[in-house]
Amino acid sequence: MPKPSSKSKPKIRILLADDHHIVRAGVRQLLESAADLQVIAEAGDGEEAQSLIQKHKPDVAVLDIQMPKASGIEVTRWVRSQFPEVGVLILTAYDDDPYVMAVLQAGANGYVLKTGQADELIQAVRDVHEGKSALASSITRKLMSNIFKGPEKKIVEPLTDRELDVLRLAAKGFTNKSIGVQLTISDRTVQGHLAHIFAKLQANSRTEAVMRGVSLGLISQSSGNIIEE
């Protein structure tokens, strides 16, 4: 009897999640140009991604970070707790340090950029499926740079309940005035809370504070509409 052909090897089953249909179509075509890859489902937001992952249990979930209803960070954290056997590969346009650290701390197996080469994405999916880490070279350089900057930053003082409330609303894109209205406090008081949050999280901006909060598990980020003031 002839030996089984290598062509009979099961394909790597992929769930693709991105809120832009055109992007999904392009990425799907790229991935399926490789004979061993197959996109079995597509999602347009984080909640749909979770539903389809639960239904299909893909080998690898390829996720964008900024998605409606649930971010790639939240989906990654959920996958790690519910389906640890599913590999998670982040495919995004963002290479900002807070995003990188947040998704890796959430448990992503890989992080590649949409500006990268097609063969890099294909190989990253294969690596994640094999249980390896898959990081774009620029991301690796960033991580190494952060390592040699000094010891990891830690929270010297925990955030108060009110500061956490302010940070959660800031993550959802509300202005200081809107936050003040919802919490029945003045704009100036909100600014004071933000100043304390920046100091405690060792952040220099609203965005950095929010992403630091996400990376530490203090808050979840379901909106990318962070407004700087």
Q: How far apart are CA 144 and CA 91, in angstroms?
A: 20
> What's the pTM?
0.61
Each residue of 91-117: pLDDT tens digit? 998 877 777 778 877 888 889 999 888
As for how many domains the chain has, the answer is 2
Residues 90, 183, single domain; the answer is no
Q: Which of 90, 122, 147 is the last residue of a domain?
A: 147
- CA distances 21 to 43, 120, 123, Å, are 9, 22, 23
Q: Which of 89, 118, 147 is the last residue of a domain?
A: 147
Q: How far is CA 113 from the centre of its chain?
A: 12
pLDDT value of residue 179: 93
Q: Are 162 and 183 a contacting pair, CB within 8 Å?
A: yes
Tell me the torsion sign for CA atoms 207, 103, 68, 25.
Answer: positive
The residue among 156 and 193 whose pLDDT is bigger is: 193
The residues, any chain, with a CB within 8 Å of residue 209's CB and separated by 6 or more, are 167, 170, 194, 197, 198, 201, 203
pLDDT value of residue 133: 77
Q: Are 92 and 114 a contacting pair, CB within 8 Å?
A: yes
What CATH number does the domain containing 89 carry?
3.40.50.2300
| Residue whose structure tokens are 């060792």 | 202
The residue among 117 and 157 whose pLDDT is bigger is: 117
Please give the residue range of the domain that contains residue 106: 10-147
Residues 131, 192, single domain; the answer is no
Residues 171, 127, single domain; the answer is no
Question: In the predicted model, is pLDDT for residue 170 greater than 80?
Answer: yes
Each residue of 25-63: pLDDT tens digit? 999 999 999 999 999 999 999 999 999 999 999 999 999
